[in-house]
Amino acid sequence: MVSSSPEIVYDNDDIVFQYKSGRKLVDDESVAYILPSDATEVKRLELNHNLWKMILDGLYKSSVHESLVEGITILDVGCGPGFWIRDMAILYPNSKFIGIDMADVFITKDLPPNVEFQIINAAMGLPFQDESFDFVFQRFLVMGFPTDTYKQSIKEMKRVLKPNGAIEILELVNHYTNPSPALTKISGWRMDSFIGDKISSFLKDASFQQIRDINYNVPIGEWGGEPGKLYLAIQRLALPAVGIMVIQLTSVTEEEYQETLKEAFSAANQFQSSTRFRLVYAKK
């Protein structure tokens, strides 16, 4: 629903978005997310989805293949457009997939019938009964949930999981390996934290079992072959978008941000920089 002002958009009755520098950004006290929710971001998330399929050589790490073939119920928290859900649902037609996101960016094309999307602010809890799902998945919410919300979200995911259900979380860590000076500067300006490094301890605190924690170093630039080139393209879309809020919330100027970005992109190859990610999976 679009309000009388073309600059203000309501995706549902609760969440307000505003256009800033031509990008649709959430502007609502109840959501801390800093990336846009628009067509350019959907494109970036599609590239990102393809990157992770390449890195994992698949879509997930948990031991759930046989259950998925038989037919189980899966929740994807902060699913974005739903590229992961779409691929999973095509692969496992006997299983039912529910994707929730605070923004209506859901893909509508080529969706199999075993997919359902709902607009939900997951920071307010998960509006599902206890023990509703066999597998709960969450990817790249680190820029959406402050630490306390993140911890709370893990407890909520546990609540809605059936006994012995599987949880899988993939997150970026705000840390570059071999950064150029420009990349170090950018990393200092970003507001996301080291939540990725704390996920296994959050799962432990929530009494999850059989916790596995894998570190990935994803290369930025040609030195890293196909994944490196793809990840550089993703960074070229992500970092200008993050910059809108950085410039608004800090003393960094537009010129300084743009100049530093340019330096960072051209130096990534020379420095052989990479970004750290963590994939953590466990059982209830």
211: three-class secondary structure by DSSP: strand
Within residues 173-212, the interface with ligand SAM by CB under 6 A covers none
CB of 100 to ligand SAM, least distance (A): 6
Q: Which residue shows structure tokens 């628009």?
A: 38
Query: Residue 117, interface with ligand SAM (CB under 6 A)?
Result: no
Residue 93: Cβ within 10 Å count: 13
- Binding window for ligand SAM (CB under 6 A); candidates: 115-123, 188-196, 221-229, 265-273: 115-123
Is the CB of 80 or the CB of 243 nearer to ligand SAM? Answer: 80
Sheet holding 209-219, edge to edge: 115-119, 96-101, 73-77, 133-139, 161-177, 274-283, 209-219
Is the CB of 234 or the CB of 247 nearer to ligand SAM? Answer: 234
**Do residues 95 and 71 lie in contact, with contact meaning Cβ atoms separated by under 8 Å?**
yes
- Binding window for ligand SAM (CB under 6 A); candidates: 100-108, 179-187, 210-218, 256-264: 100-108
Among 101, 134, 168, 171, binds ligand SAM (CB under 6 A): 101
CB of 233 to ligand SAM, least distance (A): 15
- Binding window for ligand SAM (CB under 6 A); candidates: 110-118, 140-148, 188-196, 205-213: 140-148
Q: For the stretch 32-63, what's the b/e string if a residue is b when 16 or more beta carbons lie within 10 angstroms of its beta carbon?
A: ebbbbbbeebbebbebbbebbeebeeebbebe
CA 65 from chain centre, in angstroms, equals: 23
- Binding window for ligand SAM (CB under 6 A); candidates: 133-141, 161-169, 207-215, 275-283: 133-141
Nearest residue to ligand SAM, using CB? Answer: 80
CB of 35 to ligand SAM, least distance (A): 6
Query: Residue 153, interface with ligand SAM (CB under 6 A)?
Result: no
The DSSP bridge pattern shows strands 274-283 and 209-219 to be antiparallel
Residue type, 15: I
Within residues 8-37, the interface with ligand SAM by CB under 6 A covers 31, 33, 35, 37
Is the CB of 139 or the CB of 276 nearer to ligand SAM? Answer: 139
Give the span between the Cα atoms of 230 and 186, in whole angstroms: 20
What are the tokens at 239? 């970092």
Query: Residue 139, interface with ligand SAM (CB under 6 A)?
Result: yes
Among 9, 122, 126, 199, binds ligand SAM (CB under 6 A): 122
Q: CB pairs under 8 A, 24+ apart, for 66-71?
A: 67/134, 67/135, 68/92, 68/94, 68/95, 68/135, 69/94, 70/94, 71/95, 71/96
What residue ranges bind ligand SAM (CB under 6 A)?
A: 31, 33, 35, 37, 45, 48-49, 78-80, 83-84, 101-103, 105, 121-123, 139-141, 144
